[in-house]
Amino acid sequence: MVALVKNTDTDVFSKEHIQLAALEVDHRYQRDINEKLVKVIVDNFNVLLCQPLYVGQRDDGTYWLIDGQQRHAALTKLGKRSWDATIVRTNAEQEALLFVDLNRWRKQVGLIDRFKARLFIREDSATQINEMVTAHGFHISPNPTVYGFACIARLSNFHDSGILEEVLDVLKAWEGDEGVTDDLVVGGVGMVIRRALSNREDKEHFSLRRLIQVAEKIDLAELRARAQRMRVTDGGGQWSRPLAFAHALRSAYNTGLGRKRRLSSPEV
């Protein structure tokens, strides 16, 4: 049953359980199917999270998919025959405009907002990351500040690798310094530590305490400047900024050490 709901701009229909097989796709304006995304939806299907499809009904009575192509493909793979849909009376040109507007104004939920939600539901990894960060005198922030981390993806990666505590121990040495929470610094420190703990020869003689002492003695701004110079001279401009910082920190760590006790390159 179709119920007509009046809108100030157009006649909008709300229709439950539209037949999926009846929906057509106009490839003149629609994007190609993203098979990886379809698989993600299929593998993690949740009826509460699969939103209604957005469909255009043309004058000839045909139904055309405006938004929800990946969901439509996933639902079909799951053997669903029908699904909720919002339907508007359109022609092909209007559908294309709606497609553009829907994707122009749609804002993806950022990592920080997702992290806040994960904390709210007490997800273990998010809770552990937050506890480690706050225990070291920092916090999670939408934008990087002297004490606020915005590089949540980097923190999560190091947490999953089991080195976040060590990374934060080193960053604590630069507490209050401008840029200590920047992704290039956090990433560079983590690259050094991960390499040191994953390489058998490095692991035998690596000293976290020495790395912390090096950080305490060297000015962060100076180390960042060294990293930039090394990025140009040694890296030929090809190194990422975190990797350049990792090389600069490794070089500082190795200063004064015999060859056998030096850390190997973080990029190897």
Q: Are residues 157 and 254 in the same domain?
A: yes
Q: Are residues 137 and 187 in the same domain?
A: yes
Asked, for residue 140, whether it belongs to a domain, the answer is: yes
Asked, for residue 32, whether it belongs to a domain, the answer is: yes
* Cα separation, 44 vs 41, whole angstroms: 5
Q: Which domain holds residue 52?
A: 2-105
Question: Which pLDDT value is given to residue 8?
Answer: 39
Distances (CA, A) of 168 to 4, 162, 211, 249: 58, 12, 12, 15
Asked, for residue 268, whether it belongs to a domain, the answer is: no
Which helix (H) or strand (E) segment is 129 a member of?
helix 124-135
Q: Are residues 158 and 250 in the same domain?
A: yes
Question: Which pLDDT value is given to residue 237?
Answer: 77
Asked, for residue 162, whether it belongs to a domain, the answer is: yes
Question: Which pLDDT value is given to residue 2?
Answer: 39
Give 20's DSSP letter: G
Q: Which of 73, 105, 137 lies at the terminal end of a domain, its last residue?
A: 105
pTM comes to 0.69
Asked, for residue 246, whether it belongs to a domain, the answer is: yes
Helix (H, G, I), strand (E, B) or coil at 10: coil
Q: Are residues 162 and 242 in the same domain?
A: yes
Q: Are residues 86 and 185 in the same domain?
A: no
Residue closest to 196 by CA, chosen among 153, 254, 154: 254
* Cα separation, 142 vs 184, whole angstroms: 17
221 phi/psi in degrees, rounded to 5: -60, -40
Residue 35 C-alpha from the chain's centroid = 20
> How many domains does one find in the chain?
2
Q: Are residues 160 and 48 in the same domain?
A: no
Q: Are residues 41 and 160 in the same domain?
A: no
DSSP string of 144-164, one letter each residue: --SSEE--HHHHHHHHHTT-H
Residue closest to 85 by CA, chosen among 41, 55, 50: 55
Q: Which two tokens stand for residue 257?
A: 């050490």
Q: Which of 70, 105, 140 lies at the terminal end of a domain, its last residue?
A: 105
Question: Which pLDDT value is given to residue 106?
Answer: 67
Question: Which pLDDT value is given to residue 12?
Answer: 58
* Cα separation, 52 vs 16, whole angstroms: 9
Q: Which of 90, 105, 120 lies at the terminal end of a domain, its last residue?
A: 105
Task: Write out the chain's pLDDT in tens, 268 residues.
Answer: 333 333 434 555 656 679 999 999 998 888 888 899 999 999 999 998 899 999 999 999 999 999 999 999 999 999 999 999 999 998 998 888 888 887 776 666 688 888 988 888 888 999 999 999 999 999 999 888 989 999 999 999 999 999 999 999 999 999 999 999 999 999 999 999 999 999 999 999 999 999 999 999 999 999 999 999 998 888 777 889 999 999 999 999 999 999 999 999 986 4
Asked, for residue 42, whether it belongs to a domain, the answer is: yes
Question: Which pLDDT value is given to residue 268?
Answer: 47
* Cα separation, 223 vs 244, whole angstroms: 10
Q: Are residues 234 and 126 in the same domain?
A: yes
Question: Which pLDDT value is given to residue 3?
Answer: 37
Q: Are residues 59 and 132 in the same domain?
A: no
Q: Are residues 37 and 86 in the same domain?
A: yes
Question: Which pLDDT value is given to residue 15?
Answer: 67
Asked, for residue 266, whether it belongs to a domain, the answer is: no
Question: Which pLDDT value is given to residue 107?
Answer: 64
